[in-house]
Chains A and B, each alone.
Chain A
Amino acid sequence: MATAENFYTINALFYLSACSLLLVWVMTTTLGRLCKPTWLKIMVVVLTFLSSFIPVQGLLINEYIYGFLGNLSIPTVMLFVVHSASIIHGKHLSLAEKGTAFQLIFWTGCFLFPFTLGIDIYDPYALGYNPLGLGIALLIAVMFSWLLENYVIMAAILLSITFYTLNISESRNLWDYIIDPLIFIFAIFWLLYRVLFIRVEKQS
């Protein structure tokens, strides 16, 4: 029989915690209007995070989510961390910074995912295995975001590059550190909401 490896590496704990933060995001968004006092919101954040490490039928709750989502990208983890932190200290990122970041994610996803799913023989995902060109593109993006003082994009790229260098994921493909379908879908909904919201606001 195969030897089962039950211990948790730092890498596994990192990605399981990311799944826990997703649960936190779902819980706080769902209960947002019910939990008015800040202390109650903080309680929801802490309790949801901790309870996701409770084993159910031999697996932790967040391992069930991990089975479906796999290794989330660093910007997604950042999004969840920032969301949880914003509940605690009450500060939010500026709409302009978030808007630019989500636009970048949207266009990157529009380029990457259709090819990944086989619409053509060209596969940009393969660029992530020897990512010299991708790295140069990210360096240029960081320099631009630094000049434009968009620190969200800058931090997301620098952290992705750092975690890739630290080999935190099972993947050796740089794409897996900078984008995943979850944040791509989130970006689509966020941008759609902004476009529709602003249009309605302008009309009124």
Chain B
Amino acid sequence: MTKLFFLAGILSVFSVFFSQLPPVQVTDFIPHISSNALNQTSHYQSQMVTQGKTASVHSAAMSELSNLDIRAFWYGGTREGAKDVAIYSTIFDNDTKQWEKAEAIIDRHDVAASTHRYIRKLGNPVVVKKLDGSLWLFYVSVSVGGWSTSQLNVSISFDEGLHWTPPKHLITSPFFNLSYLVKSPPILLANGNIGLPVYHELAGKFSEWIEINSDQQVIMKHRISAKRYAIQPTLTPVTNNQAISFMRDSDEVEKRVFMSTSQDQGQHWSPPEATTLKNPNSAVATLPISEHELLMVLNNSEHERDNLSLAYSSDLGKSWRILAILDQPSETDKLREKIEYSYPYLIKTKTGSFHLLYTWHKTHIKHIEFNQTWLQQKISTPLTPSSI
């Protein structure tokens, strides 16, 4: 009798468990290729986003708002990893072409209070705008140790960045949930969920992408690379089921940007292969501009992050050509202790403009805006030293 009771109990627990399992879904990508506006005069401008409010800034991200303005995010403080580091945000007015004054939107105390954890530092925000207009901001937090022990958090804004929901912790690993970081823009999936490219750098150094549902929970993950050589993946859908990922060379053997492709909605990825593009162990940003054309912003060097270049591919990443040097040290810059152009974040807006944010010597976030006409001129003109 007791045995039957036990058996009934076991079967009841498992019946409820099996009945509540989520359906197995394979979700399509949404290729994001916006319209081109070629009937414009060539436009290229650059300016600082930050005004020196914090001594150290890094890792910018941005999203276009409904009124065509742009909201940018980055982390800043007295130094990288300091306890006063917060996530900052400001708006680029698309009419005046000026950046407004930045303000801190999330600090470590906000995250600690909401997630009930000790938080030592924050970093690396990335953002995506969902179809309902909400902004989803992902960023890392560290409780113990360095960046390699980072964990992911998310906050949502339903008023385009004026107010944010309490930070929520994302669980991505069974190993104390350690070492998941973000760098590249998230993407929208056809089922309304978010695809977030992530990377691990504790024991291995590898890339994955995770799917996040509307309850802010990770519901699937797919590995892009393994072992210890390719991190900070980009996730670029080119059709409903095909995507390309480009990764930073983290072991500095090949000194090249790595590339991997998927033909099945990102479930399986080809082994990462070195492209012809140089890489000094630094992040890249990519953007599709047509079904076969890609742009990439990168440090075109094997050793230093001392130039920022724009590369172009007309065959989905198989071959590349450098179109322009976007930034390089001036004579004054060369006197600096640290020369660094890094963490590029590239988007294209509904107006057809391209916007690039990047870390400028770790002291400022810099913004470059160019339009399709400027880009077409670069594509049709070979690069010369005085071409920009």
A130 engages B169 (CB within 8 Å): no
Asked whether A5 is an interface residue with its Cβ less than 8 Å from the other chain, the reply is yes
Residues on B with beta carbons closer than 8 Å to the beta carbon of A63 = 112, 116-118
Asked whether A171 is an interface residue with its Cβ less than 8 Å from the other chain, the reply is yes
Interface string of B166-207 (1 = CB under 8 A from A): 111111011111000000000000000000000010111110
Contact A135 to B14, CB < 8 A, known contacts A1-B164, A129-B220, A130-B24: yes
The docked-state distance in angstroms from the alpha carbon of A107 to that of B222 is 24
Asked whether B21 is an interface residue with its Cβ less than 8 Å from the other chain, the reply is yes
Contact A176 to B171, CB < 8 A, known contacts A4-B113, A68-B176, A118-B204: yes
Asked whether B321 is an interface residue with its Cβ less than 8 Å from the other chain, the reply is no
How many cross-chain pairs have Cβ atoms below 8 Å apart between A and B? Answer: 171
The docked-state distance in angstroms from the alpha carbon of A69 to that of B173 is 12
Residues on B with beta carbons closer than 8 Å to the beta carbon of A131 = 21
Number of B positions contacting A (CB below 8 A) = 63
The residue that B114 contacts in the complex, of A5, A70, A180, with Cβ under 8 A, is: A5
Residues on B with beta carbons closer than 8 Å to the beta carbon of A132 = 18, 21, 24
The docked-state distance in angstroms from the alpha carbon of A2 to that of B105 is 6
Interface string of B220-233 (1 = CB under 8 A from A): 11110111100000
Whole-angstrom distance from the CB of A184 to the nearest CB of chain B? Answer: 9
Q: Which B217-259 residues sit within 8 Å CB-CB of chain A?
A: 217-223, 225-228
A3 engages B176 (CB within 8 Å): no
Interface string of A118-146 (1 = CB under 8 A from B): 11111101101111100100010011001
B174 engages A180 (CB within 8 Å): yes
Asked whether B70 is an interface residue with its Cβ less than 8 Å from the other chain, the reply is no
B116 engages A129 (CB within 8 Å): no
B contact residues vs A (CB 8 Å cutoff): 6-7, 9-10, 13-14, 16-18, 20-22, 24, 104-106, 109-110, 112-114, 116-119, 143-144, 151, 155, 163-171, 173-177, 200, 202-206, 208, 217-223, 225-228, 269, 271
